[in-house]
Structure 1
Amino acid sequence: LQGQADVRSPSSAFVLSSTGDSGKVTTVVATPGQGPDRPQEVSYTDIKVIGNGSFGVVYQARLIDSQEMVAIKKVLQDKRFKNRELQIMRKLDHCNIVRLRYFFYSSGEKKDEVYLNLVLDFVPETVYRVARHFNKAKTTIPIIYVKVYMYQLFRSLAYIHSQGVCHRDIKPQNLLVDPETAILKLCDFGSAKQLVRGEPNVSYICSRYYRAPELIFGATDYTSNIDIWSAGCVLAELLLGQPIFPGDSGVDQLVEIIKVLGTPTREQIREMNPNYTEFKFPQIKAHPWTKVFKPRTPPEAIALCSRLLEYTPVTRLSPLEACAHAFFDELRQPNTRLPSGRELPLLFNFSPVELSIQPQLNSTLIPPHARAQTSPASHGMYQNKKMILFFYIKIFTLYKI
């Protein structure tokens, strides 16, 4: 599961006081999510359960000091291992990824039971619930929201993939959104893993409907391109109003995929999992993408979907190539607004890390009117490149090279 280590850090393992009442104050010794391990007292109140699952429970609470709302994800800890989610979240820092503010340990009811508590940004909604709201109203989500949400998802994927991290559970339920600002934050890194070339990974990962075909084929040497397939499924679902590849089993899902993409060629199967090349599949022609979607679906949206939902993992667009796609051109226009009239969230505040991923895309990713959104360090990169260019021009003219 995860690397060997003792989970109990004495400095962060104590709940100092708790009243057990949702209106009372709980004080814990917690370690900041980022930066040096300097434990500090953190007090919170107004605790209520907002979610649960096989992983544990999620609470909503209010920090006493700042009065900000937070989510506290409480998971039972295996003492033999470091928690992979904690290790990954501590190294991530991006505006489209839910931030780990603090973490602390608490005791369970049984002897030796230890819980890890992750104190995270609280974001009120999910893309899943937003889409369901429009479905109930017998309409599809406005295309501007599809663009804003998907763009931010691709930004978050570009960042985590640049850090060697694969999320492995991209789905609408794990995309948190603030309905007012339209800011999206990727959450739930419980399945995430630092992928290392040559090291095998489990293939039964990722939620049904969003599983890449190489996972259905049982591949264990997959790449972060499985997240791109999942993102393509999310985009298709927002356009259709329902999952594009439903199915209760891997076989069912594969049938649904083949109905749209057609039967994979032997070469495509080899790219997904070489062990399956001798399998015989019924020969089915690909269904035209234009017929998969409703007549009024923007052609650019269909074109983007077709570049994400490819059998061959390496031919899928990279996250930043997706951001640079024509489907998102409207977001790069200076006067584009949300339906409420509100300005778009910050979409072009790229960090030096992001700008170094695929530099050839930077001129497309940052429209002229948004250059001020990039960080000062990023501006420095541009200035340095300009300076070097002027230097070469000067040398050229002086020595008439």
Structure 2
Amino acid sequence: MAQHGPINNGVRLSSFDNDPQRVVAVKASDGATGEEVEIKYTNCKVIGNGSFGVVFQARQLGVPKHLEDIAIKKVLQDKRFKNRELQIMRLVKHPNVVDLRAFFYSSGEKVGLGRVRSSCINPCLQKDEVYLNLVLEFVPETVYRTSRHYVKLKQPIPNLQIKLYMYQLLRSLAYIHSVGICHRDIKPQNLLLNPSTGVLKLCDFGSAKILVPGEPNVSYICSRYYRAPELIFGATNYSTNIDIWSTGCVMAELMLGQPLFPGESGIDQLVEIIKVLGTPTREQIKTMNPNYMEHKFPQIKPHPFSKASVFRPRTSQDMLDLVARLLEYTPTARLSAIEAMCHPLFHELRLEGTMGVISQLSLRRCVGGWVEVLPTGVKAEVAGERGAAKDNDWADCYLTIRSHADPLRLVSIVYSPRLELDAGAELA
């Protein structure tokens, strides 16, 4: 067993082992409390890498079986700055956000630039550099791979699955937005999915930031197909509404089987958006970036989403309506995540008998309302008040949420689907 001691002024560093079968023990900090813990893991293998670093899958020892599988995200740690991703991940705790189990630091391993073996070594890692390792719960699939699976089968994703994925994504965004966090990289690849339960987890907070009013932000953020138009216009005072635009792009992609705005550059991306939504008005441009108000754009009429030229024939009107409300040029005109959760599209999730349909789709369990995160004393109100949503007109719901003093609590009580189960429960 490889044991690694403290060096560098007490920071516990550990080196990944070349043998994936070998047990590695590291001194780490608990993700929630920061207390020192020892983690032992084995069966370590590379499952992804990029400019951010590398991600490994491993099996943790000495924990309950359902917690054994872990992912370890290893990123270069700049000694001059705190790691924003770590800071944010220690703040968040939600059923639809990937869980940070622990974190520790390690030194790089200088190896040749040959093929990366099925071990915990990455040729990008440099010796004597310090790396931050985030120990995360392992979730086997992504919404992206699920979408590609249906594309290969030449079949659309069932509407009920789209509703389940979108509701859980909105649920995660409503939570992080309520504490001021903007994810800034919403895309299908960052939506982890447990195929046996249907539970979705938002991951990769490497681009996330707590937005402060009046504080400028970089505009070159978010993956291209999912970038909000205000980012393309170079806005630096944007809000969490950029995540809402990205969410609309994800939903459209699930409905279409391909990206709605597949631009190859920033300008090309804007052209693709204008092709569908039409040319933005001067007023809309002002809300995105007033510096472009005098710019001359080609005048193109929008394509109504209700026509088959954009989406498949016989696409449900509720789906088209929600996508349209998420993909608004004016950032403040987009539905918030909480408002979108209450859209009629998700009423089916609130009906008796829906669970049986989900079971037939091999989604043996689905997270339900926000029962898991409600304050003590509120849970008792859920059963009695939840049914009110289906009797309310959508416009009334919208206005009620806009004016409510605590919309997060209101939605959690009244508008959550009837799909709650204990965390460890599964349908037969």
Superposition TM-score tier, normalisation by shorter sequence:
0.7 to 0.9
* Partner in structure 1 of residue 370 of structure 2: 349
Amino acid at match of 1:142: P
What SS does the aligned partner of 1:209 have? Answer: helix
Residue identity opposite 1:319 in structure 2: A
2:106 aligns to what?
A: 106
| 1:202-229 residue CA offsets vs partner (Å, 9 max, x unmatched) | 0000001100000000000000000000
1:9 positional shift: 8.4
CA apart distance, 1:28: 0.2
Please give the alpha-carbon distance, in whole angstroms, between the structure 2 residues aligned to 1:52 and 1:372.
35
Task: Give the superposition deviation at 1:18.
Answer: 6.0
2:327 aligned with 1:327, yes or no?
no
Shift of residue 352, structure 1, vs aligned partner: 3.1
Cα distance change on mapping 1:18 and 1:283 into 2, 3 Å: closer
Aligned counterpart, 1:300: 318
Give the aligned CA root-mean-square deviation in angstroms.
2.1
Q: Is the alpha carbon distance of 1:359 and 1:43 closer, same or farther for their aligned partners in structure 2, counting shifts above 3 Å?
A: closer
Deviations 1:370-389, CA, capped at 9 Å, x for gaps: 68989xxxxxxxxxxxxxxx
Deviates more, 1:329-338 or 1:270-279: 329-338
Q: Answer yes or no: is 1:44 the counterpart of 2:41.
A: yes
C-alpha separation in 1, matches of 2:278 and 2:249? 16
Q: Deviations over 1:300-345 (max 9, x none)?
A: 0000000000000001001011111111111111211323365541
Sequence identity, in percent?
61
| Cα drift, residue 14 of structure 1 | 2.6
Q: Return the TM-score normalized by structure 2.
A: 0.81
CA distance in 2, matches of 1:362, 1:349: 5
User: Are the counterparts in 2 of residues 258 and 264 from structure 1 also a CA contact under 8 Å?
Assistant: yes
Deviation per CA, 1:262-297: give whole Å up to 9, x if none: 110101000001111111111111111112111121
User: Counterpart of 1:366?
Assistant: 416
- Please show how residues 229-240 of structure 1 align to structure 2 within 5 Å: 229-240=245-256
Rounded to whole Å, the distance in 2 between the matches of 1:267 and 1:341 is 47
- Cα deviation digits, residues 92-134 of structure 1 (max 9, x gap): 0000000000000001135541000000010000000000000
CA deviations over 1:60-107 (Å, ceiling 9, x no partner): 000011241000000011110000000000000000000000000001
- Is residue 106–residue 116 contact of structure 1 (8 Å, CA) maintained in 2? yes
Deviations 1:145-176 (A, max 9, x none): 10101100000000000111000000000000
Q: How far apart, CA to CA, are the structure 2 residues paired with 1:200 and 1:112?
A: 34
In the alignment, residue 347 of structure 1 is paired with which amino acid?
G
After TM superposition, the structure 1 = structure 2 runs for residues 195-344 of structure 1, keeping only pairs within 5 Å, are: 195-291=211-307, 292-337=310-355, 338=358, 339-340=360-361, 342-344=363-365
CA distance in 2, matches of 1:18, 1:119: 13
Separation of aligned partners in 1, 2:97 and 2:410 = 24
Structure 2 counterpart of 1:131, one-letter code: S
- Letter of the structure 2 residue corresponding to residue 98 of structure 1: V
Q: Tell me what 1:129 maps to.
A: 145
Deviation at 1:361?
A: 3.7
Aligned equivalent of 1:93:
93
Tell me the distance in 2 between the aligned counterparts of 1:78 and 1:180. Answer: 38
* C-alpha contact 2:219 2:236 (8 A) present in aligned 1: yes
Which amino acid counterpart does residue 352 of structure 1 have in structure 2? L
Q: Residue by residue, what CA displacement relative to the aligned partner does 1:19-40 show, whole Å, maximum 9, x if unpaired?
A: 52101100000001102x2111
Matched residues in 2 for 1:18 and 1:305: separation?
45
Q: Is the 8 A contact 2:367 2:419 kept in 1?
A: no
Which residue identity lines up with residue 324 of structure 1 in the other structure?
C
What's the CA shift for 1:347? 1.8
Q: CA separation of 1:19/1:248 partners in 2, compared to 1, >3 Å: closer, same or farther? A: closer
TM-score by length of 1: 0.86
Task: Decide which moves more: 56-65 or 357-366.
Answer: 357-366
